[in-house]
Chain A
Amino acid sequence: MRISTNTIYQTGINKISALQSEQYKLQQQVSSGKRILTPADDPVGAARALTISQAQSINSQYADNRAMASFNLNSIESTLTSVTDLMVSAKSTLVGAGNAVLSSEEKNYIATQLSNDLQELIGLANSKDGNGNYLFGGFKNTTQPYTATTTGATYNGDNGQMDMQVSDTRRMSTTENGPDVFQAEGNDVFATLSNIVDLLSNPATTSAALNTALASANTSLDKGLDNVLTVRASTGSKLKEIDALDNNGDDRNLQYKAELSDIQDLDYAQALSDITKQKTILEAAQQSYVQLSGLTLFKYI
């Protein structure tokens, strides 16, 4: 076939420029460490990478949520530990108050002690979390949940329970309402203590009436204690669940990272070997171009 001089030059140049652009792309891949430079390089991979990085970002957000949830639950747990101790001590005080030989003065002391316990209990019910929000006020977490009254304490909060999204499928309540802790099933611990304090500090109280009241107060505190322990158990199991979810979340994060790396990251060994190969081809093309274009009959005439 007859070949025009233009074709000889043009073909050589086209080949060399194609090789150079491949070289350029490899160079870009190596310097960025990425296999996919634009979506066109791997459309399916590019779209999957977006989906996975969203999943990864949501996963790490859930880890943040869990840290927050765990902080809240730990605040509740430590407050309820103090509540338990307080109620146990109030109970033993109550048992002492049943002694028939107590003088009215001694009864007054006990009344004072129980009254202090009541104030302390109200104080614990008004505990705040690390953000300065009340723990037991429901959604009204900036209003003090309990105010002391002559018959115990009144609840100023609401029935709201704050949930947190701790995994893609699990929503966990991370607050407790005061009434669920201190006044469950109609058993108001504040009222019980207040009533006993009133009876003990009133000299007119008959011992029969006092004994009946002490017996029912004892039952009430037992029920209250049971309830607090139930709440603590549920808080504890939530904390345990968060631990399990944390492990699961960490596993997922590793998995997402591995998948993203599979899709996006460059196989350096392959890329570097490709660059060397391309370089050899380019050099050969350049040399043959120079030699071919040097071949001309005009040199000899």
Chain B
Amino acid sequence: MACQEIQEDLQAYLDGELTPVRRAAIESHLGECSDCRGILAELRTVSKVLSGWSGRSVDDGFEKSLQTRLAFEPTEAKRNKTAPVRAARFAGSLPATGPVYEGGFLRWITGGWRPAAVAAAVLIAITVYFAREAGAPLPKRVATTPKTDALGALSGAGTAGEIADGIVFAELVGKRAIAAVELDSPRVALSDVVTAFLATAETETDKSVGKRLINLLAGNAHMQPAARRVTVAGLFGAGAGLFGRELHAAEAAADPLAAARQFESAGRLREAQLRYRALASGGAVRAELALGSLNLRMGDLDGAEAALAAAAAGGDIVVKTAADGLMVEIADARKARQEVAPLRATAVSAADWQRVALLEVQAYDYRSAANSFMKAAGAASEDQIEFVQSVRFRSAWCQKETGQISTGVYGFKGIAEDSRSPATLGYAAGIEQAVGLARAGDYAESIAVCKMLVKRPAGDPVMEAMAYFQKGFVELRGLEDKAAAAESLGRVSAAGQGNLSYAALILLQSSGK
């Protein structure tokens, strides 16, 4: 047999891909031909060298990030071919009625009711924050819940600074959810980034506390009219902001980025911007991300885009994910700006102005939105008191977003103290007021508001728990009155409001030290 013909098959011989007959022929030839044996040895050597390349084992981040992206992929919509499937990474229009999957939680999470998911995400953020902040290792119960994993993925490797990013992010998400739900828009808001992380939790078998409670919250929100869901989301967003601020305070001494965030959190946006910019020009990618997010908040879309592009180019997968999500926001904001201009010119009725205002929120033009909400209130008739109070609430909220925290607080105060306000809205406004006051450093006023709140029924256990939580938090952190804080936080736990009560427990424990 000719050597060349044999050699062609030597690799197949090594690979075990020959018929027994052919194999025997090769073996008999090898027994008598040293040239061919030499080539066989070469092939083996190469295999040995190749085997030195072990490849890489997959890290957690890969799967989490993939799950996030998959969570945006409609299944049902694709199967019945009725809804458009968008390929954009963080955008994908879901059918108005939720797609039907197996597993109620996932259906809920990807089909709608995003604000509640946001609230849930924020609760997790709070829980993780307190665990860290207390200086204790994460209690096992928290550390192993999928939701904390999800937050871990959202905020990077889990250092305090990165968790702070996560909280800032969650807060932003809370805001966006409001506009998206109220406009009844099929577009996927940034909130989906968070809901998707939560959706990844669905794949975990660990059905521990966190999950049940998120379901509870979800179910709770599900039963509420849209306005209530929005309120709940807004509340938790605000709460996260407060806690984030405290976290930053703890770190600020060591970390210039955390110091810069403190300014943003306190409503001093220009000062924060200057600091982010300085850090970013020194090459800090997370500062670029923060700058992009702040520019967006301030309505500077071009500035936001530039910073986010830089962040995405230099960042790890967490930064990239966040930057990509925000880029989608920018595109939506531009669209909303185009859409709103003609509407604004012709707006007459209260409904017109409300729509204009909501679009302005989407356009990241909070200053105009605050005005438009007030115009909607002005154009409403006398008997539409519920409507009037709800748009005033939103106007105050927009004020707060532009950094006018005291103006916002004043607006919330008006609603909270107005006996004509619907009970839950008034209560929510009271909490916003207390949060705003604490943000501005006015703990005494904040605690006074909380005390009034807890004396009256909210009609909603989550909100009552939130009021007690806020009260306990200020008592502990602002007034350093541990006994009072223990009492308030104990009530949060007694109300059994999920991760919030767990956060209260951790906070209590930390005060015992």
The answer on A and B forming one complex is no
